[in-house]
């Protein structure tokens, strides 16, 4: 119901209109009913007071003109005048003639047309009548069937010969007025229900005619967003909704044309890049052969020509890498990239990538630090693509590390494997981290690619990660370095909901008192003999071990091992 309420404008408008209308009708009905009740009561009260005044005056005249001179004659006179006043001008009424409080003379008793109703005269009303004048009080008159009727008791003093002061009370029933008021209220209630129903029906019809085209437009917009570019709205009439539908269709037509042109342009661009890349391979092969001949004979040239031959060979290598990257990007754009997955231990691929990046790290003065878990990090991956991703991340980290340490960590859990590559170089801002995977993008356009990058490495790495169903993310802060995290599912079809390794590095961690401190400075570790293609495992700085390591063997230095390349 909450979801329906939030998602339906028609329901909210209908409910709001009905609520406001119902509140208004209740207020108006209450006001009308109260005014009607007060009017009926006031009118009837004035009529009753007028009748009772005349009846009391007539009774007083009869008593004063009477020639009764004995108590029995006076008692008979009281019964006669009581009975005579039973019929008033507006119908029957009950009359009570009661001795006034405080009288000390001989009591002749009370007379009443209905002795059972004498108790309706309250002491408060009797005391009020003693003070003089005409007084009234609302009462509830019981009926024979157990119900009660609204009524009014009106009292006034009369002087009785030989007996003193008596009080004459008239009891009127207001059931007729109450019946008229109930009929009016029932009529108002029926009218209110009819008005609310009519208001609800009108609101539903109006909102339906307004909301239905909007819902249709939303549905068509969803279809357009899903790629059904030929979807259109139905146009009926010439009103505002028809104008909206025509405008929407014109917008959709324009978008379809623009998207079609963009797709054609994109197809032409991809085909152009692919064709140019393939066509350049033949002259590049020829130039490569000539360049290798010149580079092989460079020792016989003078220094300037020798340097030119070396630059020619270097730039040919870079040109060849650029062509290879362009071809790879064109495969991704064309959707022709194929994943050749096999079960591999990710630690083996990481070590191979680190071995390949070692010469570059030595030239740049950086130190590669690798942390591997004891357990196997098996996953269904394409080794060639994953190794290419790691190579790109390592080359990028070494290039921007400015001679600082580059840390490589491998993590594994039940559903995913992950690798982080962290450098402590120039870093990058959060905005730069959003664009670092864009093609040919540079955080600093003036910064030279001294390692010969093509500008497509990270873009290709991102496509390789997506081809595996994984993530490739970047984090960085100016002056604090950068961290790249590759997360891959261990099996095909697994949807990643987390990574075994954090993307944001934990800073300023204080080690325990009994834990040996490990420096990130290579000079702080013991010197190792020169090695080629080997990994030195240092579990204790005072006891270096040099060995060839295969990662499918038990870890030689425990879970806290540090590997220095």
* CATH code at position 439: 3.30.565.10
Could you give the percent of the chain with pLDDT greater than 70?
85
pLDDT at 534 exceeding the cut of 90: no
The model's pLDDT over 9-58, given as tens digits with 9 standing for 90+, comes to 778 888 888 889 889 888 998 898 888 888 888 988 999 999 999 989 98
> What mean pLDDT comes out for the span 471-482?
90
Mean pLDDT of 68-89: 83
Confidence of residue 373 (pLDDT cuts 50, 70, 90): very high
Render pLDDT for 484-528 as a digit per residue (tens, 0 to 9).
999 999 988 888 888 999 988 876 343 443 444 333 343 433 443
Cα gap 3→554, rounded to integer Å: 56
Tell me, yes or no, whether 219 lies in a domain: no
pLDDT of 547 above 60: no
Boundary residue ending a domain (181, 201, 227): 181
475, 375: one domain: yes
pLDDT digits (tens, 9 = 90+) for 305-349: 888 888 888 888 777 777 777 777 777 776 767 788 899 999 999
Whole-number pLDDT of residue 379: 92
Judge whether residue 555 has pLDDT over 50: no
Using one digit for the tens of pLDDT, what is the confidence trace for 237-268?
887 778 888 888 888 888 888 888 888 887 77
Is 512 contained in some domain? no
Identify the pLDDT of residue 416: 93
In the block, which residue shows the tokens 């108590």?
71
Residue 418: strand pairing partners: 411, 487
pLDDT at 105: 62
Give the span between the Cα atoms of 486 and 379, in whole angstroms: 13
Domain boundary pick from 300, 334, 368: 334
Higher pLDDT, 227 or 524: 227
Task: Report DSSP state, residue 537.
Answer: E
Counting the structural domains of the chain, the total is: 3
Q: Please check whether residue 217 lies inside any domain of the structure.
A: no
Residue 561: per-residue pLDDT? 36
Distance CA 75, CA 378 (A): 122
- 8 Å CB contact between 413 and 378: no
Band of pLDDT at residue 170, cut at 50, 70 and 90 = very high
With respect to residue 472, please indicate whether it lies within any of the assigned structural domains: yes
Q: What is the pLDDT of residue 106?
A: 62
CA atoms of 83 and 111, how far apart (whole Å): 9
Instruction: Tell me, yes or no, whether 328 and 397 share the same domain.
Output: no
63 and 175, same domain (yes or no): yes
In a domain, 557, yes or no: yes
Mean pLDDT of the chain: 80
What CATH number is attached to the domain comprising 113? 3.30.450.20
Task: Return the bridge partners of 536, or none.
Answer: 546, 564
pLDDT, mean of residues 72-80: 85
Check residue 530 and give its pLDDT.
Answer: 40
For residue 476, pLDDT beyond 50: yes
Which of 138, 153, 181 is a domain's end point? 181
Specify burial of residue 195 (Cβ count, 10 A radius: 0-12, 13-18, 19+). middle
Local confidence band at 433 (pLDDT 50, 70, 90 cut-offs): confident
Residues 503 and 411 sit within 8 Å (Cβ to Cβ): no
In the prediction, which pLDDT does 521 show? 40
Q: What is residue 443's predicted lDDT score, i.e. its pLDDT?
A: 59
| Residue 445: pLDDT band with limits 50, 70, 90 | low
362 & 461 share domain = yes
302 within some domain:
yes
What is the structure's pLDDT at 544? 36
Residues 12 and 92 in one domain: yes
Residue 168: is its pLDDT beyond 60? yes
Domain harbouring 311, CATH code: 1.10.287.130
pTM value surpassing 0.85:
no
Shared-domain flag, residues 97 and 62: yes
d(CA 120, CA 127) in angstroms, rounded, equals 14
Cα Dmax for the chain: 171
Of 31-35, 166-170, 545-549, which gets the smallest average pLDDT? 545-549
Residues 306, 434 within the same domain = no
| pLDDT of 541 strictly over 90 | no
Contacts of 394 (CB under 8 A, 6+ apart): 353, 354, 357, 360, 368, 406, 408, 421
306 close to 299: Cβ distance less than 8 angstroms = yes
Kindly report, residue by residue over 84-94, the tens digit of the pLDDT. 888 877 778 89
* pLDDT value, residue 318: 77
Q: Which residue has the tokens 């309250």?
A: 122
| Residue 44 counted as domain residue | yes
Same domain, 17 and 144: yes
Considering only CA atoms, give the Rg of the chain. Answer: 52
Question: Tell me, what's the pLDDT at 536?
Answer: 35
Least confident stretch, 112-121, 206-215, 494-503: 206-215
Query: What does the pLDDT average to over 270-292?
Result: 77
Same domain, 273 and 380: no
Shared-domain flag, residues 401 and 419: yes
- Domain residues for 152? 2-181
373/320 same-domain check: no
Residue 436 and residue 544 in one domain = yes
Q: Which long-range contacts (CB under 8 A, 24 or more apart) does 322-326 make?
A: 322/454, 322/456, 323/277, 323/280, 323/281, 323/284, 325/454, 325/456, 325/457, 325/460, 326/273, 326/276, 326/277, 326/456
The verdict on residue 410 lying in a domain is yes
């Amino acid at each position: 119901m909450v979801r329906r309420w939030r998602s339906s404008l028609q329901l909210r408008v209908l409910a709001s209109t009905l609520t406001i209308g119902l509140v208004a009708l209740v207020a108006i009905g209450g006001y009308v009913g109260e005014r009607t009740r007060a009017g009926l009561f006031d009118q009837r009260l004035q009529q009753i007071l007028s009748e009772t005044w005349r009846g009391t005056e007539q009774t007083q005249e009869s008593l004063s003109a009477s020639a009764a001179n004995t108590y029995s004659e006076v008692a008979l006179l009281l019964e006669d005048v009581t009975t005579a006043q039973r019929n008033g001008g507006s119908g029957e009424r009950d009359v009570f003639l009661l001795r006034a409080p405080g009288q000390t003379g001989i009591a002749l008793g009370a007379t009443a047309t209905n002795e059972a109703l004498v108790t309706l005269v309250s002491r408060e009303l009797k005391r009020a009548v003693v003070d003089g004048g005409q007084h009234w009080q609302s009462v509830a008159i019981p009926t024979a069937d157990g119900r009660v009727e609204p009524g009014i008791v009106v009292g006034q003093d009369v002087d009785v010969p030989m007996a003193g002061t008596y009080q004459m009370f008239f009891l009127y029933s207001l059931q007729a007025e109450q019946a008229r008021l109930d009929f009016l209220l029932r009529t108002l209630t029926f009218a209110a229900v009819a008005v609310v129903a009519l208001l609800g029906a009108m609101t539903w019809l109006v909102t339906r005619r307004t909301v239905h085209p909007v819902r249709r437009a939303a549905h068509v917009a969803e279809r357009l967003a899903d790629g059904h570019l030929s979807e259109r709205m139905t146009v009926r009439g010439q009103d505002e909704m028809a104008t909206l539908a025509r405008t929407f269709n014109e917008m959709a037509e324009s978008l379809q044309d623009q998207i079609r042109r963009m797709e054609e342009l994109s197809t032409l661009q991809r085909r152009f890049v692919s064709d140019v890349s393939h066509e350049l391979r033949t002259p590049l092969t020829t130039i490569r052969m000539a360049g290798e001949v010149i580079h092989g004979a460079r020792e016989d040239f003078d220094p300037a020509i020798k340097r030119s031959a070396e630059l020619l060979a270097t730039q040919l290598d870079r040109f060849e890498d650029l062509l290879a990257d362009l071809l790879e990007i064109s495969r991704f754009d064309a959707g022709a990239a194929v994943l050749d997955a096999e079960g591999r231990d990710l630690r083996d691929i990481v070590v191979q990538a680190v071995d390949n990046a070692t010469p570059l790290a030595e030239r740049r003065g950086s130190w590669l630090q690798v942390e591997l878990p004891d357990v196997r990090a098996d996953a269904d991956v394409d080794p060639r693509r994953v190794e290419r991703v790691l190579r790109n991340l390592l080359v990028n980290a070494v290039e921007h590390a400015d001679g600082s340490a580059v840390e490589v960590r491998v993590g594994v859990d039940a559903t995913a494997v992950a690798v982080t590559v962290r450098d402590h170089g120039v870093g990058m801002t959060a905005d730069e981290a959003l664009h670092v995977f864009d093609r040919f993008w540079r955080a600093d356009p003036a910064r030279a690619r001294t390692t010969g990058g093509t500008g497509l490495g990270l873009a290709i790495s991102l496509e390789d990660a997506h081809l595996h169903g994984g993530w490739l993310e970047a984090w960085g802060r100016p002056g604090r370095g950068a961290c790249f995290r590759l997360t891959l599912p261990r099996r095909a079809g697994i949807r990643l909901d987390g990574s075994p390794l954090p993307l944001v590095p934990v800073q300023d961690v204080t080690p325990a008192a009994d834990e040996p401190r490990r420096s990130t400075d290579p000079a702080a570790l013991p010197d190792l003999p020169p090695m080629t293609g080997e990994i030195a495992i240092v579990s204790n700085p005072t006891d270096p071990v040099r060995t060839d390591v295969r990662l499918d063997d038990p870890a030689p230095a425990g879970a806290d091992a540090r590997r220095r390349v």
